A and B are shown apart, each in its own frame.
Chain A
Amino acid sequence: MKTTFITFLAAMAASMPAFAEEAAAASAPEDRSVLDAEVQSLRREVVDLNRDLFMLEEDLLFPASTQVAVFVSMDVGTFFAVDSVQLKVDDKEVANYLYTEREQEALKRGGVQRLWLGNLKAGEHEVTAFFVGQGPHERDYKRGTTLQVEKGVGAKYVELRISDKASKLQPEFVVKVWE
C-alpha cells in the first residue's frame, strides 16, 4: 500500500514539470507579444522625449529674441554646381560648408539645408555668403552676395537661394529674409 502511494507521488511529481512546460509554452507567444508592445511603447516615449529635449535645447541655446538661421536652397541648378559655401556675419566666418555629390543632388531635388543657426543681438548686421563651384561650361565660379539684416525682436530666417537665370544662361544668387 505504502509502495503504491509512493509510486503515485513519484508519478505526479514527474508529470508536474511536463504540465508546467505545456502551460509556459502556451503563454510564451502571449508574453512575447506583450513584451513587444511594451518595447514599442518605450521606444515611442524615448523618441518623444528626444524631440522635447531637442526643442528645449534649441529654445535655451537660441532664444527667439536673438535667433538667426541661414538656409541654403537651390532652384534647378543647371548653371551652377555648388562646391562650398562660406558664410560671414559682420565679417566673421561662422560657417564653411563643403558639399558632396549626394548633398548637391539633395539640393537640386528641393532639399533645404540649414547652414547656420546662431545668436545676434538686435540691430543691423551684415551677412555675406561666398559660393564656390562650377559655373556654365564647367568653369570655376566664385560669387559673393551681401545682405544687411535688421534683427528685431523675433527670430530671423535668411534664405540663400541659388537659381538659374535662363535669359543670361548664368546662375543667380538671391538672398531672401523670412520673418
Chain B
Amino acid sequence: MDARHHRRGVAARLVLAALLAAFGAGATAAEDPSAPDFALASTAGSNYRLSEYRGEVVALVFWASWCGDCRRELERFERLRRTYGSVGLVVLGVNLDQEPGRAVALAGAAGIGYPVLIDAGKDVSRSYRADDLPLIVLIDRNGAIRARHTALDERDEQGLLVNLRDLIDE
C-alpha cells in the first residue's frame, strides 16, 4: 500500500516536473544564454574543451588570417590576458582558416600566448553565429554568454573593458 502511494507520489511529481520543464523550455527557447560546449584541437596539438573552464571568465576570439581587423584583436587580447589572466580571464582564439599553417604563422607574428584552436570544419563558429570577423564572445563563470563584440573602435573598447571587469568581479 505504502509502496503504491510512494509510486503515485513519484509519478505525480514527475508529471509536475515535466510540465514545469516544458513551460520553462518554452520561456527560454527564444534565447538560450548558455555557451555551446565544444572540443577543438589547438595549433600546439593539445585539445581544449570549453566546459573545462567553468568558474573562469572566458573570452573567445573568432578570427581568420584573411581578416584585416583580426590581428589587432589578437594583440589586444594578448594584452588583456597578461593583465587579467591571474584573476580568472581565459582567452581562447578560434581560427577559421582551412589551412592551420597560416594561422600558426600569424599567431606567432602577433606574439600571442593563448591557445589557438582550429575550427576548420566551422561547426563551432556556426554554433556561435560568427558571421562577421573578428567576433569576441564573453562568457561568464557560469558558462553563459554575456556579451558579443565585433571589430572594436575606441568607444567599443571601453565597453568591452567594462563588461570584462564586471564579469571578473562577479
Is A101 an interface residue when CB atoms closer than 8 A count as contact? yes
Q: Do A98 and B14 touch across chains, with their CB atoms under 8 A apart?
A: no
Which B residues lie within 8 Å of A101 (CB)?
A: 46-47
- A58-112 residues with Cβ-Cβ distance < 8 A to B are 83-84, 97-103
A34 to chain B, nearest CB (A): 23
Interface size class of B (residues with CB under 8 A): 10 to 19
Q: Do A100 and B14 touch across chains, with their CB atoms under 8 A apart?
A: no
Which A residues lie within 8 Å of B133 (CB)?
A: none
Q: What sequence of 0s and 1s flags, for each residue 23-38 of chain A, a beta carbon within 8 Å of any chain B beta carbon?
A: 0000000000000000
How many chain A residues have a CB neighbour from B under 8 Å?
13
Q: How many A-B residue pairs have CB under 8 A?
A: 30
Which B residue's beta carbon lies closest to that of A97? B39
Q: Do A98 and B40 touch across chains, with their CB atoms under 8 A apart?
A: yes
A99 to chain B, nearest CB (A): 6
Which A residues lie within 8 Å of B18 (CB)?
A: 53
Is B165 an interface residue when CB atoms closer than 8 A count as contact? no
Q: Do B13 and A100 touch across chains, with their CB atoms under 8 A apart?
A: no
Which A residues lie within 8 Å of B52 (CB)?
A: 100, 102
B158 to chain A, nearest CB (A): 35
Q: B48 is contacted by which of A49, A84, A100 (Cβ under 8 Å)?
A: A100
B88 to chain A, nearest CB (A): 18
Which A residue's beta carbon lies closest to that of B49? A100
Which A residues lie within 8 Å of B13 (CB)?
A: 49, 52
Q: Do B39 and A53 touch across chains, with their CB atoms under 8 A apart?
A: no
A107 to chain B, nearest CB (A): 13
Of all A-B residue pairs in the complex, the 10 with the closest CB atoms, nearest first, are A98-B39, A98-B47, A100-B47, A100-B49, A49-B17, A49-B13, A52-B10, A53-B17, A102-B52, A99-B47
- B→A interface (CB under 8 Å): 10, 13-14, 17-18, 39-41, 46-49, 52
Give me 10 A-to-B residue pairs in the complex whose CB atoms sit less than 8 angstroms apart, sorted by A's number: A49-B17, A53-B14, A53-B17, A53-B18, A56-B14, A97-B39, A98-B39, A100-B46, A101-B47, A102-B52
